Amino acid sequence: MDTSYPREDPRAPRKADGAAHTALALGTPRPPPRDHLIWSVFSTLYLNLCCLGFLALAYSIKARDQKVAGDLEAARRLGSRAKCYNILATMWTLVPPLLLLALVVTGALHLSRLAKDSAAFFSTKFDDSDYD
Higher pLDDT: 60 or 10? It is: 60
* In contact, 14 and 8? CB cutoff 8 Å: no
The chain-wide mean pLDDT, for the chain, equals 82
Helices (H), ranges, the chain: 37-46, 52-69, 72-122
What single letter denotes the amino acid at residue 89?
A: A
Euclidean distance between CA atoms 86 and 80, whole angstroms: 10
Residue 113 carries which side chain, given as an amino acid letter?
Answer: R
Query: What is the C-alpha to C-alpha distance for residues 49 and 93, in angstroms, rounded to an integer?
Result: 7
pTM for the full predicted model: 0.62
Residue 82's SS3 state is: helix
pLDDT digits (tens, 9 = 90+) for 73-129: 999 999 999 999 999 999 998 999 999 999 999 999 998 888 777 766 666 666 666
pLDDT, residue 130, reads 60
Q: How confident is the model at residue 28 (pLDDT cuts 50, 70, 90)?
A: confident
